[in-house]
Amino acid sequence: MHPEILRIGPTPVYSYGLMLVISFALGILLASKRARERGLPAEAILDVATVILISAIVGSRLLYIVFHVSEFEGRWLDTINIFKGLTGLSMFGGIAMAIAASLVYMKAKRLPLWPMADALAPSYALGVGLTRIGCWLNGCCFGRLTDLPWAITFPQGCAASSVVGDAHVHPSQLYESLAGLLILLAALRFDRTRPASGMVTSLVFGLYGLARFGLDFFRLYEENNFVNVAGVRLASSQVFSLALVCLALAGMAVFSRRREG
C-alpha cells in the first residue's frame, strides 16, 4: 500500500490525510447543494462543516488515547501529534464530539437544526466511503486473518505489517468503504420520498451503526478494545454501534410522529 502517496518537494503527502481532505471538500459540495434545494443558508454549511471536522478529529483522538494510554507513557506530547498520516483516531469519539459541537453551534447561530442535519448527513456516508480508502492505502484499520480469495497482504512499513507480517487479512477498510457508499445511495434515494425532518439523519447513522457492528467481526482489534456485554465478547466500537442504532431508531420514532401530528 502507499501510506505516503506522494511528495511535494520535501513535504510528504499522506494517503489518509489526502483522502480526508478530498472527502471534506466533496462533502461540503454535496451538503451545500442539498441546503440550497431546501431553502437553507448554504453559506452556513462551510461554517458547520468546519466545526464538525475540527471536533471530529479532536474527539477521535481523545477516544483513541483512552483505549491506548500505554502507547503514550513517557511521551505525552505525542498525544497531540496526529499529523503523521493522521493515524491514531477512533471514529466513534469523532462522531460523539462532532454531534455535540455542531448542535451547540447551530443552536447558538439559530440555524434550523434537523433540516441542516439532513442536508449534512449524507456527506458523512460519503466521507466514510472515501476515508476508508485512505485507511487501506495507509495500512491501518486492517482485518483479521483469512484465507478467502480476496484476502490481501500489506507491505513492510505500515501498521498492518508490524502486527500480522505478510499474512493474508480481510480488506476491512474496503468493506466499510463500500458500506459508506451504499448508505449514501440509500439516504439520497430515501430523501426523494420527502421524509420528515431528522429522518435522513437517523437513517444514515442507523445504517452506519448496523454496518459497523457487522463489519467489526472481520476487523482486527487489540485485546484491550474488547468488552463483555451480557456474556458476549464485543469490540468497544460494536457497543458504540449498537448505541448509535438505538438512538437512530428512537429518532425515527419521534420524527415520524411529529409528521403525523
CA atoms within 13 A on the CB side of 208: 30
C-alpha 218/C-alpha 119 separation (Å) is 32
Instruction: Output DSSP code: residue 35.
Output: H
146 grid coordinates: 483469512
Element (H, E) at 67: helix 43-67
- The reply to whether the predicted model has a pTM over 0.75 is yes
> What pLDDT, on the 0 to 100 scale, is given for residue 15?
87
Mind listing the pLDDT tens digit for each residue in 86-101? 456 677 788 888 888 9
User: Phi and psi at residue 6, in whole multiples of 5°?
Assistant: -165, 175
Mean pLDDT by 10 residues, the chain (261 residues): 80 85 93 92 88 85 69 57 55 82 90 93 96 92 95 88 92 97 98 95 97 96 86 92 96 84 47
> What pLDDT, on the 0 to 100 scale, is given for residue 189?
97
Domain segments of the chain as ranges? 4-192
> What pLDDT, on the 0 to 100 scale, is given for residue 70?
61
> What pLDDT, on the 0 to 100 scale, is given for residue 153?
94
